Homo-oligomer: A and B are copies of this chain.
Amino acid sequence: MLSGGKSQSMKGIRQLAEHLDISIGTVSRALNGKPDVNEETRKRVLAAAEELGYVANQSGRSLRQGTTNVIGLMIESSKETIEDSDNFFLGLTSGLQSVLARHKLDLIMLPCPTDEDPYEYLKRMVARRVVDAMIISATQRVDKRIDLLSKAKIPFVSLGRSQSSGNSPWIDLDFDGVANSAVDRLVAHGHRRIAIAAPSSDINLGYIFLDGYRSALERHGIAYDPSLVIRVKTSEQGGYQAGHELLQIDNRPTAVILIYELMAIGLYRRLTEAGVIPGRDLAVIGFREEPRAKFLQPALTCFRMSLHDLGVELAQTLLATMPAYSHFYPDSERNMIWPLKLIPGESDSFHLLAAQ
């Protein structure tokens, strides 16, 4: 046949094989780096595949070997977590992909529709066998998704620990540590009435954060005052709202800890409206990398981390639980508390002791 067209429509491995006058089995082995194939012919095969633009059909491959080479990152836009912005996930994917790419694994994001139950959504995706493994975020305090994945024996790692996590792998931000050092720092500056803004404690991070706050107060011999705990959403609006409620507390606190930096923007605005100057009349400490808060004035004292690095760690933790890849990451921790770094600003720099 003379129609050995250049970039003709490439149907499948079969066409590629007869174009090369080689059996289809050999072509497959050549492409997949299997042994038992002459180095000479392997080169020919690879060249031809490149030229004709052949890429293996994913369905056929998955069907045969029961694996998809795809890792799923489930995302949802819940307004109670600090993980629901495009920036957060795009930051993560960068780190995730840098690891996954080494193993020829692809990452896809699975956005759970707002009107669907996350559990049911995940169930569907898992049953369809569209991913080999999962990364879940916005972990709830009790999270059925974890049981589901465990039972289905789908490798996974959750961003955020949960009561449901038995010995399942997770990475969680160091809410406890952050709450503690925030309190420590404020107390060292002379503050005794320290408010805190956190989301509803259905979300585990809210729970842990608050727990760290309470234990830190106790450590300093400061009585826990429930009226200083402000329940708001972790958004800019939430910060505005927090500022509003803060101003109405009698015997106003002299400092406030925010669970999410983004809230600081709203908080500043509300305070400024009321003539209260952040950093002079009220100390503020924030939390988590948030580029949008970068320009605040006075500069926010906060805890930061690298989303990219977190992504890297997540990927490694996940792969370590997958038999086919675990040997690459022999001493990866199954659970991990992700540290954050204090970035001193001026929002909490005034000393009450000196001022009084």
Binding site for B on A (CB under 8 A): 53-60, 62-63, 68, 70, 75, 77, 84-90, 93-94, 97-98, 101, 106-111, 113-115, 123-125, 127-130, 236-237, 240, 265-266, 269, 291-292, 294-295, 297
Which of B53, B86, B110 has a CB less than 8 Å from the CB of A88?
Answer: B86
Q: List 19 A-B contacts (CB under 8 A).
A: A56-B128, A57-B128, A57-B129, A58-B62, A58-B130, A59-B129, A84-B87, A86-B87, A86-B88, A94-B113, A94-B114, A98-B113, A98-B115, A101-B113, A108-B111, A109-B110, A236-B294, A265-B295, A292-B292
Which of B87, B106, B113, B129 has a CB less than 8 Å from the CB of A58?
Answer: B129
**B residues near A269, Cβ cutoff 8 Å:** 295, 297
CB distance from A105 to the nearest CB of B (A): 12
Distance between Cα atoms of A16 and B17 in the complex (Å) = 37
Chain B: which residue is nearest A97 at the CB level?
B113
List 9 tightest A-B contacts by C-beta distance, closest first: A55-B127, A109-B109, A59-B62, A59-B63, A58-B128, A97-B113, A93-B111, A77-B90, A108-B108
**B residues near A84, Cβ cutoff 8 Å:** 86-87, 90
CB distance from A280 to the nearest CB of B (A): 17
**B residues near A88, Cβ cutoff 8 Å:** 86
Chain B: which residue is nearest A269 at the CB level?
B295
Distance between Cα atoms of A111 and B266 in the complex (Å) = 30
Distance between Cα atoms of A124 and B54 in the complex (Å) = 10
Which of B86, B98, B113, B240 has a CB less than 8 Å from the CB of A89?
Answer: B86
**B residues near A57, Cβ cutoff 8 Å:** 63, 128-129
Distance between Cα atoms of A98 and B114 in the complex (Å) = 9
Q: Assess whether A86 is in contact with B90, with CB atoms less than 8 Å apart.
A: yes
Distance between Cα atoms of A218 and B101 in the complex (Å) = 51
CB distance from A104 to the nearest CB of B (A): 11
Distance between Cα atoms of A236 and B294 in the complex (Å) = 9
Q: Assess whether B87 is in contact with A77, with CB atoms less than 8 Å apart.
A: yes
Distance between Cα atoms of A88 and B77 in the complex (Å) = 12
Which of B85, B108, B295 has a CB less than 8 Å from the CB of A266?
Answer: B295
CB distance from A70 to the nearest CB of B (A): 8
Chain B: which residue is nearest A90 at the CB level?
B77
Chain B: which residue is nearest A266 at the CB level?
B295
Distance between Cα atoms of A297 and B265 in the complex (Å) = 13
CB distance from A95 to the nearest CB of B (A): 10
Distance between Cα atoms of A73 and B63 in the complex (Å) = 24
Distance between Cα atoms of A68 and B63 in the complex (Å) = 13
**B residues near A89, Cβ cutoff 8 Å:** 86
Distance between Cα atoms of A6 and B227 in the complex (Å) = 50
Q: A57, A62, A86 — which one has the most chain B CB atoms within 10 A of its CB?
A: A86
Q: A70, A113, A265 — which one has the most chain B CB atoms within 10 A of its CB?
A: A113
Chain B: which residue is nearest A96 at the CB level?
B111
Distance between Cα atoms of A127 and B70 in the complex (Å) = 15
Which of B86, B127, B129, B295 has a CB less than 8 Å from the CB of A85?
Answer: B86
Which of B94, B108, B114, B130 has a CB less than 8 Å from the CB of A109?
Answer: B108
Distance between Cα atoms of A130 and B90 in the complex (Å) = 21
Distance between Cα atoms of A10 and B340 in the complex (Å) = 44
Distance between Cα atoms of A101 and B116 in the complex (Å) = 10
**B residues near A94, Cβ cutoff 8 Å:** 77, 113-114
CB distance from A243 to the nearest CB of B (A): 11
Distance between Cα atoms of A53 and B98 in the complex (Å) = 35
